[in-house]
């Protein structure tokens, strides 16, 4: 799997660290991040876009992995940060993000969130609705003489071929404004003395495995006139399974840059906001097999985690590969269903995957779990959320500790 290699004894190594040693040191389940792979991906994005389009920028869609260590790492690599809530804003600022590189999102931004963004000096606020305009004008009324740069989020009526729950650019989406309303918002903003309309934003969805819908989104925003800034969102798919064939970062950037060159003003700044494709492949989840049950013609390999640390399968039907981390096998292993320990039948990590003679006590690695796993981790069955461990050049360091039972009670009042 990406981000891994085999040790001389045939076990997986992540960022040069042996899986058995990681499990010994940090326990299971654990989310292991190959720091080199993450930095490499950030550079491919930043350098790749800069090479294709001068005056461009990459902002990490931080909802994909909102932990301060990830913000810090990507800020170090020069990326901007897209936040979608007051919490993500607080994390981004705590991690040292340059406020000018913040892009502030949300389809229901509260006064508190907008005020915090304005007070922090956020570079761009993305207008999703007319109430955003009113709220911001009101807030800026208090902040003497301040002007806030904004983009208008456009719903281009493009429906990419992805799971319904992660498709955002179609008519009927709760996000953004369809073209007629976007025109109205543009007109209103042009008359605003406190809001400076810099341009447009479009984001059509996530886990998109084809470049064509991105081009159609650029066509849609190009219809609305010429602006200094176009933020084209995120959405490139990650390679979760051996069968997935997402465009490479370079193919994606080629398509976007050539659409921008063809359709947008030549001097305009192009911003992109990759989330999933930035972090997914750098993450590997490690679990311990608790029990192996052969019944009804199926082999259930039940591990010590599941939908508490990875909701992608239950929410979006995402498919993951899995392997016995110390004895990775080929396609001729026993077909197994890797399930979690939670009280729900949908608690599956990998519905059908060949494993090499799985036994209780074995370590299971589920690769490509860097995106939207930490973000959506939860305490179902009072599970403790797992630690996050960065690995690089054979060295590991914990960046988030495992929750404790005391953490689970921390907010309870007597
Ligand atoms: N920009 C905006 C405005 C977004 O709403 C999103 C994702 C992104 C960028 C990043 O998209 P990406 O490159 O990650 O596809 N909870 C779902 C994913 C929802 C994505 C929402 N917006 C999941 O767990 O799969």
CA–centroid distance, residue 60 to ligand 1 (Å):
10
Domain boundary among 229, 254, 277: 277
Which residue numbers are catalytic?
A: 343
Residues 6+ apart with CB under 8 A from 198: 124, 149, 150, 151, 227, 228, 229
Domain that holds residue 239: 35-277
What pLDDT score was predicted for residue 160? 79
Model pLDDT, residue 143: 67
Judged against a pLDDT cut of 90, whether residue 198 lies above it is answered with yes
Same domain, 253 and 337: no
Q: Are residues 289 and 240 in the same domain?
A: no
Q: Ligand 1 test: best mutation among 231, 272, 273, 311, most atoms within 8 Å of CB?
A: 273
Residue 3 pLDDT grade (very low, low, confident, very high; cuts 50, 70, 90): low
Nearest residue (CA) to ligand 1, atom 24: 372
- Which pLDDT value is given to residue 2? 57
Q: 348 has which bridge partners?
A: 339
Q: How many independent structural domains does the chain possess?
A: 2
Residue 283 CA, chain-centre distance (Å), reads 12
Residue 353 in any domain: the answer is yes
Beta bridge partners of 397: 390
Alpha helices in 165-292 (DSSP H): 179-190, 212-222, 249-263, 276-279
In a domain, 127, yes or no: yes
pLDDT exceeds 80 at position 309: yes
Average pLDDT over residues 108-130: 98
Domain end call among 277, 301, 325: 277
- Which class for 289: exposed (0-12), middle (13-18), buried (19 or more C-beta within 10 A)? buried
Domain-embedded: residue 414: no
Which is the closest atom of ligand 1 to the Cα of 126? 3
Residue numbering of the annotated binding site for pyridoxal 5'-phosphate: 235, 273-276, 372
Whether residues 226 and 291 share a domain: the answer is no
Q: Considering 245, 277, 309, which residue would you say is the last residue of a domain?
A: 277
Q: Is 106 in the pocket of ligand 1 (CB under 6 A)?
A: no
- The helices-and-strands tally (H runs, E runs) of the chain is 12, 21
Task: Evaluate whether residue 11 is within a structural domain.
Answer: yes
- Which CATH number covers residue 324? 2.40.37.10
pLDDT of residue 33: 98
What is residue 161's DSSP assignment? S
Map tokens 């849609």 to a residue: 220
Q: Which atom of ligand 1 is nearest to the CA of 205?
A: 15
List the binding residues for substrate.
276, 316, 344, 372
Half-sphere exposure of 379 (CA within 13 A, CB side): 11
Res 15 pLDDT > 70: yes
Please check whether residue 359 lies inside any domain of the structure: yes
Q: Mean pLDDT over residues 134-144, rounded?
A: 88
How far is ligand 1, taken at its centre, from the CA of residue 84, in Å?
Answer: 10
Q: What spacing in Å lies between the alpha carbon of 168 and ligand 1's midpoint?
A: 9
Of 186, 163, 166, the C-alpha closest to 175 is 166
Identify whether residues 73 and 11 lie together within a single domain.
no
Out of 31-40, 164-173, 299-308, 389-398, pick the least confident. Answer: 164-173
- 217 with 134, same domain? yes
CB atoms within 10 A of CB 79: 24
Please name the residues in contact with 102: beta carbons below 8 A apart, sequence gap of 6 or more.
80, 81, 82, 83, 89, 92, 117, 120, 122, 123, 124
Global pTM exceeds 0.90: yes
Cβ atoms 128, 175 nearer than 8 A: yes
Same domain, 155 and 100: yes
* Average pLDDT over all residues of the chain: 96
* Closest protein CA for atom 9 of ligand 1: 234
Question: Are residue 202 and residue 245 in the same domain, yes or no?
Answer: yes
Residues 222 and 344 both lie in one domain:
no
Q: What pLDDT score does 164 carry?
A: 78
- 192 and 272 co-located in one domain: yes
Establish whether residue 316 lines the binding site of ligand 1, counting it when its CB lies within 6 angstroms of any ligand atom.
yes
Reading phi first (left if > 0) and then psi (alpha if -120 to 50, else beta), residue 203 is in beta
pLDDT band at residue 209 under the 50/70/90 scheme? very high
Q: What is the DSSP letter of 342?
A: S
148 and 253 together in one domain: yes
Find the 265 Cα to ligand 1 centroid distance in Å: 27
What gap in Å lies between CA 129 and CA 126, rounded to an integer?
9
271 closest CA partner among 218, 211, 201: 201
- Distance from the CA of 277 to the center of ligand 1, in angstroms? 10
Give the model's pLDDT for residue 1.
62
Percent of the chain at pLDDT above 70?
A: 99
Same domain, 13 and 86: no
Same domain, 247 and 196: yes
Spatial CB neighbours of 298, under 8 Å, sequence gap ≥ 6: 337
Closest CA to 240 of 204, 276, 288, 286: 276
Whether 41 lines ligand 1, by a CB cut-off of 6 Å, is no
pLDDT at 159: 79
In this structure, the residue with its CA closest to atom 23 of ligand 1 is 372
Q: CATH number, domain at 217?
A: 3.20.20.10
């Amino acid at each position: 799997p990406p981000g891994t290699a085999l040790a001389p004894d045939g076990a997986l190594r992540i960022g040069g660290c042996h899986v058995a040693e990681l499990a010994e040191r940090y326990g299971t389940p654990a989310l292991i991040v190959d720091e080199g792979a993450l930095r490499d991906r950030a550079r491919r994005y930043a350098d790749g876009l800069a090479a294709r389009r001068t005056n461009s920028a990459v902002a990490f869609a931080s909802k994909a992995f909102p932990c301060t260590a990830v913000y810090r790492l990507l800020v170090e690599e020069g990326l901007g940060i897209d936040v979608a809530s007051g919490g993500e804003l607080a994390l981004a600022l705590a991690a040292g993000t340059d406020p000018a590189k913040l892009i502030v999102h949300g389809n229901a931004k509260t006064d508190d969130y907008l005020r915090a963004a304005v007070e922090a000096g956020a570079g761009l606020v993305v207008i999703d609705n007319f109430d955003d305009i009113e709220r911001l004008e009101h807030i800026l009324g208090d902040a003497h003489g301040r002007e806030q740069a904004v983009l208008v989020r456009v719903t281009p009526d493009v429906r990419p071929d992805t799971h319904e729950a992660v498709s955002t650019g179609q008519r009927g989406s709760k996000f953004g404004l369809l073209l007629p309303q976007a025109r109205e918002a543009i007109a209103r903003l042009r008359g605003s003395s406190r809001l400076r309309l810099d341009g447009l934003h479009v984001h059509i969805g996530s886990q998109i495995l084809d470049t064509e819908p991105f081009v159609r989104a650029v066509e849609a925003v190009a219809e609305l006139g010429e602006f200094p800034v176009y933020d084209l969102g995120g959405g490139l798919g990650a390679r979760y399974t051996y069968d997935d064939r997402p465009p490479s970062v370079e193919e994606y950037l080629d398509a976007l840059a050539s659409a921008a060159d063809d359709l947008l003003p030549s001097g305009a700044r192009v911003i992109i906001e990759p989330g999933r494709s930035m972090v997914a492949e750098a993450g590997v989840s490690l679990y311990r097999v608790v029990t192996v049950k052969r019944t009804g013609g199926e082999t259930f390999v039940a591990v010590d985690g599941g939908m508490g640390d990875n909701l992608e399968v239950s929410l979006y039907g995402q498919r993951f590969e899995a392997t016995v981390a110390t004895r990775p096998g080929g396609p001729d292993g026993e077909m197994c269903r890797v399930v979690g320990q939670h009280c729900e039948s949908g608690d599956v990590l990998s519905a059908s995957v060949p494993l090499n003679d799985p036994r209780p006590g074995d370590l299971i690695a589920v690769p490509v779990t860097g995106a939207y796993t930490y973000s959506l981790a939860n305490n179902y069955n009072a599970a403790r959320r797992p630690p996050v461990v960065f690995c690089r050049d054979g060295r590991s360091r914990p960046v988030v500790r495992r929750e404790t039972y005391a953490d689970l009670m921390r907010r309870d009042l007597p």
